[in-house]
Structure 1
Amino acid sequence: MHVVELHDAYIMQDVNTVLQRVTFTLGKGEFAYLVGRTGSGKSSLLKTLYADLPLGGGVATVVDYPLQKLATGKVPYLRRKLGIIFQDFQLLFDRSVADNLLFVLNATGWKGKARKKQRISEVLMRVGLANAAGKMPHQLSGGEQQRVVIARALLNEPLLLLADEPTGNLDPDVADSIMRLFVEINNAGTAVLMATHNYQLIQQYPRRVLRCQDGQLLDSTAASFRVGE
């Protein structure tokens, strides 16, 4: 089963085509890096996959939702099957870690106070923050905040994690610990597509690499591919 399937897809940013004729699949439980220079289309591709940007043409299916004919009302249902992780955390700083997670559970239709509390505790334990529920985001380090973001992304047991530069603002040791967490999550069966500039991580944790370059998406599984930019 594929969690992402694109065929001759056109990725747009405003009125500009940033990537054309993109064809690739990502299998259930697969891990791939997305690399390329700033402005090469990495973020636009991720935003298209979670329906923040419209597909410019071609065919794209993400967790069984066809993007080319996705009604606006169906977008929340698509996103419930995805975990989305941003570089700048996007936590709500006026509420505790637990309340940040509760906000997502409420927004995605969870019912039952005890069930929600249990799920919050499970995901915080999973990311190594069992004692952080009552803390405010500003009381946490950058690495801990990113772990909260990952916990938030795991709440609905996604089939696919989309991560946009998740280690971009973190020092190397913290980045490595976050990367190990992604590997663990992936080993447990969640597919991961991670945009990154960190070639050290790619060398340390080698996986398939997709590179945005000159309007094309190049795949490391092709014979002509070279990793460096």
Structure 2
Amino acid sequence: MFSNEPVLSLQNADIFQGTKIVLSDVTFDVHKGDFVFLIGRTGSGKSSLLKTLYADLWLQSGKGMVAGYALEKLKPKDVPYLRRKIGIVFQDFQLFMDRNVEDNLKFVLQATGWKDKTKMKNRISDVLMQVGLSAVNRKMPHQLSGGEQQRIVIARAMLNEPMFLIADEPTGNLDPVVSEQIMQVFQTIGNAGTAILMATHNYDFLKKYPARILKCEEGQVREQGL
């Protein structure tokens, strides 16, 4: 089923951090297969904007639609269902250090309602192959490099075949060579049709991987011309 509906749409949205408006009147759409960079100084509202999209912060005014869910009408019980439709990749890996890669991924599948063991095993193999780490399912996170751990986090975000991937500074803790490899993984995922919104401070990426750029500054989100 192909739809022209955007996978993410904000209209006149005010983004709050507590009681303070950090971004006002935010309006933009992201469609299937779009790759969008989100830039701006620390404290400019990038993280608050992303948190609003995955319902860690409530949308208090304006309209927002993410993966078919209206953010302004979202009830707490809907949040897990929204998050199944989107993948989230953070800067700090947030893997369980007491279990191997396969069990880290299986935990997410079980938590999102998967029951069939064979299907779970197959899906885990698929996402590990997608990020180029087919052979690590039995390894513990501490046996992997930082770059490999971040690939596992990307694999985890892809488990439920999200329409949309949110990445908050995904290469922030990685050296340039590894950051480049992670960026290639995102490019591959994007080329396969998943929309990606990536917050980054790495301005080299903007030159090397031309894409749409949204900039948070002075309380606004502005589309940057390439």
TM range (shorter): over 0.9
Q: TM-score w.r.t. structure 2 length? A: 0.97
Aligned to 1:207: 211
Q: Does 1:155 align with 2:137?
A: no
Distance in structure 1 (CA, Å) of the matches to 2:164 and 2:58: 19
Match of 1:194, SS?
Answer: strand
Aligned to 1:68: 72
Distance in structure 2 (CA, Å) of the matches to 1:182 and 1:140: 19
Select 1:128's aligned residue among 129, 132, 139: 132
Aligned to 2:142: 138
Distance in structure 2 (CA, Å) of the matches to 1:11 and 1:97: 36
Matches within 5 A, 1:1-229: 1-221=5-225
Match of 1:17, SS?
Answer: strand
* Dislocated runs of 4+, deviation >2 Å: none
Structure 1 position 64, deviation (Å) = 1.1
The one-letter code of the counterpart of 1:187 is N
Structure 1 position 28, deviation (Å) = 1.3
Distance in structure 1 (CA, Å) of the matches to 2:198 and 2:79: 21
The one-letter code of the counterpart of 2:161 is E
The one-letter code of the counterpart of 1:158 is P
Distance in structure 1 (CA, Å) of the matches to 2:97 and 2:207: 35
Deviations 1:169-223 (A, max 9, x none): 11111101100110110000000000000000111001000000010001025xx
Aligned-pair Cα RMSD in Å: 0.8
Structure 1 position 56, deviation (Å) = 2.4
Q: TM-score w.r.t. structure 1 length? A: 0.95
The one-letter code of the counterpart of 2:50 is L
Match of 2:7, SS?
Answer: strand
Distance in structure 2 (CA, Å) of the matches to 1:50 and 1:9: 14
Distance in structure 1 (CA, Å) of the matches to 2:58 and 2:207: 33
The one-letter code of the counterpart of 1:148 is I
Deviations 1:18-66 (A, max 9, x none): 1000011111111100000001000110000000101121011101100
Where in structure 1 are there 5+ consecutive unaligned residues? 222-226
Percent identity for Structure 1 against Structure 2: 61
Distance in structure 2 (CA, Å) of the matches to 1:28 and 1:116: 26
Structure 1 position 111, deviation (Å) = 1.4
Match of 1:131, SS?
Answer: helix
The one-letter code of the counterpart of 2:195 is A
Where in structure 2 are there 5+ consecutive unaligned residues? none
